[in-house]
A and B are shown apart, each in its own frame.
Chain A
Amino acid sequence: MSIMNLLISAGGELHYDDKGVVTHNPILPETPEIIWGGLASIIIFLLLAKFAGPQIKKAMAGRTARIQKELDSAADDQASASKEAADIRQAKGDIAAERARILAEAESQAASVLAEGRARLATELAELETKAQSEIAASANRVGDELRAEVARLSIAAVDHVVTGSLDTATHQELIENFITRVGASR
């Protein structure tokens, strides 16, 4: 059963309890109660409209203003954020440029250091090669000198041995006679 049907059926009949007391409609109030209640409601509404309306309007206007202020502030914040973002983007661009410059400078310095290192290495290699050649030549000369000295020593020993052993009496006499002849022929 719908609510409308319940209201209609409730308005058409009375209900009595076991003591004979009349029970009204359990849903709808009594008619005078409706009238007075309606009047009281109207009066209260009017009073509210007269005395609370301005306050409500004022509060609404204040709230609107506050909301507008907040919106304006948000817009300012947005603009500020946009500017800051632009600054950051610009700074980012500057950083990129600086990074590129630093990288270029570093590459230039690295190339310079590399070139200097290569040049120094080449010089050192040339010096080492020259020194090594000089040492090799000195060693060769030293070995040659030692060899010549050894040959000379052996030759000297051989000369002493051969000459001393080959001097017989005839040779002694020949040497003496040659000396006398040579001295006598001088002057």
Chain B
Amino acid sequence: MNDDRIDGYARGLFEIARAEGTIDRVEDELYRFARAYEGNEQLRNALSDQGIPAARRQTIVEDLLGGKATGTTVQLVSMVVGSGRASELPAIIDRVVARASGAKNLEVAEVRTAVPLTGDQETRLAAALQKATGKSINLKVVVDPAVIGGVVATIGDTVIDGSVRSRIEQLKSRL
């Protein structure tokens, strides 16, 4: 899919979510779904397989997100998958999140941790990142066991790596 098409889908999803008045929650749910989609090969294969009928793929999405996300989020993801653009779903969603953050003059900060953060930790981490970068932060937390421990924060091109994985990699390289 070319960049214009990705941007077109992103603009469409963003406008629908904003029209529904749930943009903050929807973009957060979309972001989490996109990361889950990237980290699960079986899910990627199932949703991007053109041999599976679109209705079946959409049913998979509804089964996965039903009761866990807003109806808007489920419908938006289902629409993208049903139109055969599942493989571009992470790129479309990232564009939606960036557009939503831009609308609020926020910078997306992707934070990966091995265990979930508490609400208090998310608030303090957002404040710390804001202080460190001088930008208003739209914090997106992704639970990623590959981090092993600690935190990896990515804000634009800046990466602040405090993960155990990176320390182990440094130790390995020294060994």
User: Which residues of A are at the interface with B, using a C-beta cutoff of 8 A?
Assistant: 151-152, 155-156, 159-160, 163-164, 167, 169, 171-173, 175-184, 186-187
B60 contacts A by Cβ under 8 Å: no
User: Which residues of B are at the interface with A, using a C-beta cutoff of 8 A?
Assistant: 113-115, 117, 121, 124-125, 127-129, 131-134, 148-151, 153, 160, 162, 164, 168, 171-172, 175
Chain B: minimal CB distance from A72 (Å) = 117
Q: Chain A residues near B133 (CB, 8 Å)? A: 187
Further 19 A-B residue pairs, CB within 8 A, beyond A169-B115, A172-B114: A155-B175, A156-B168, A156-B171, A159-B172, A163-B168, A164-B148, A172-B149, A175-B150, A175-B151, A176-B151, A178-B150, A178-B162, A179-B153, A180-B128, A183-B125, A183-B129, A183-B162, A187-B131, A187-B134
Chain A: minimal CB distance from B82 (Å) = 39
Contact A171 B175 (CB under 8 A): no
Q: Chain B residues near A177 (CB, 8 Å)? A: 121
How many residue pairs link A and B with beta carbons under 8 A? The number is 73
Q: Chain B residues near A159 (CB, 8 Å)? A: 168, 171-172
In the complex, what residue of chain A is closest to B133 when comparing beta carbons?
A187
Q: Chain B residues near A179 (CB, 8 Å)? A: 125, 150-151, 153, 162
Contact B149 A180 (CB under 8 A): no
Q: Which of B127, B134, B162, B164 lies in contact with A184, CB distance below 8 A?
A: B127
Contact A152 B172 (CB under 8 A): yes
Chain B: minimal CB distance from A56 (Å) = 138
Closest 6 CB pairs between A and B? A184-B128, A152-B175, A179-B162, A179-B151, A175-B150, A183-B128
